Amino acid sequence: MFRFLAIAVFVVCTLAGCSHNYHWSKSHPLYKKAPYGKLAVAGTNEAFVLTRSAWFAKKLGWNPDSIQLKATAFCEQVFLDEMRRAYPHFVSIPEQNFNHFPEESQKLDSRIFMKGRLPEQGVTVKDSAGEIQPYILIIHEFIVGTDLKRETYFDYALIHNESTDKKTSTHISAIVSYTLWDNEKQRPLFSAVDEVQRPITKPTPEDLEALVRSAVKQIRINLYGGVS
């Protein structure tokens, strides 16, 4: 009996000690109000990445040579459309107004670092009409694949672990890292890494579309939830 208890205590301690409690988001102390009605998005032109493209090509019946281009353009378009539906005053920041900023790392947690472009301190980003949008949602990375786990992409201790090749996949998934940028005061209001999973029945372009839509929904929920 005592031996069993000792083993149980040991197992519990080991599990509790080993499992790292990740913080997947970080709010600025002055993030008081989530954007409502008005939002700009930047970085979508280079954020989308499709993994397991051969698998997707086969399942969706798209040409394997152009699947990467086609799928990322498709996802970007769905993403922008979904955003446009959610925010009446929606603006997409043109590439040339944003992509010259260098990539920097942002720390969310002792082990989670995300990489992405952030505008310089003291420099406001203008949209194509030359206007200054108060909030810019910067999408750093939008990874689409199957059964993705965000810790394998963002925990630097796990980054070099090779994942086993799986024959069967249960979910199509998306991992999004993004920053809500205060364009007037040039500070990151809210940064997060989100993971969205969607069970596979028979993969279709509609599934992919639904995945991106649920990612947008998740981002919007988190933008509200992150207000400090």
Partner 1 sequence: MNRGLSILLFALSLIIFSGSAFAQKEYFNSHPALWKDADILIWSLDKEPAIDPKEFCLSLKRNNSGIGEPKCRLQGEWMRDTVAMRYASWLNANMDPALKAEYLRARHPAMQAKFQALEDQIVLFIAKNGSVVNVAWFDETASEPKSAGTIPLSPDKVSMGDEIANMFFDGTPKRRLSKEERKKMMTEPDEYFQEVPVFKMWAGLGMGYSQAQIPLTPDNWYSSHVNSQVRNYRITKDSVSLWNFIDDSDPYFTFYVGATWYDFIGLELSYHYAKHHMKTDPKDTVYQELDHWDFHQHEIGLSAMLSRNYKPLSWMDITPFLFVGFQYSFFVESIELNDDVKTPSKAYKARIKFEDAYKGALVGFGSHFIFLKHYGLGLRTGISSRGRNTYVDPSPDAAAESTIIGGSTIDWFIGAGLEYHLNLF
Q: How far is the CB of 30 from partner 1 (least distance, A)?
A: 6
Minimum distance of partner 1 from residue 57's CB (angstroms): 41
Which residues are at the interface with partner 1 (CB under 8 A)? 28-30, 104, 118, 120-123, 184-187
Nearer to partner 1, 32 or 85 (CB): 32
Of the candidates 134, 140, 122, the residue with the CA atom closest to the CA atom of residue 48: 140
- By beta-carbon proximity to partner 1, the closer residue of 65 and 104 is 104
- Minimum distance, C-beta of residue 214 to partner 1, in the bound complex (Å): 32
User: In this complex, which beta carbon is closest to partner 1, that of residue 99 or of residue 161?
Assistant: 99
Output helix, strand, coil percentages for the chain, rounded to the nearest 5.
35, 30, 35
CB of 207 to partner 1, least distance (A): 40
55 to 40, 58, 74, 168: CA distances (angstroms):
33, 5, 17, 11
CB 29 to partner 1: min, Å: 5
Is 185:201 a contact under the CB 8 Å cutoff?
A: no
Give dist(CA 118, CA 122) in Å, integer: 12
Surface-to-core class of residue 209, CB atoms within 10 Å of its CB (0-12 exposed, 13-18 middle, 19+ buried)? middle
Nearer to partner 1, 31 or 90 (CB): 31
Nearer to partner 1, 120 or 131 (CB): 120
Residue with smaller CB distance to partner 1, 28 or 217: 28
C-beta contacts of 208-211 below 8 A and 24+ residues apart: 208/60, 208/71, 208/74, 208/75, 208/78, 208/144, 208/172, 209/74, 209/78, 211/144, 211/172, 211/173, 211/174
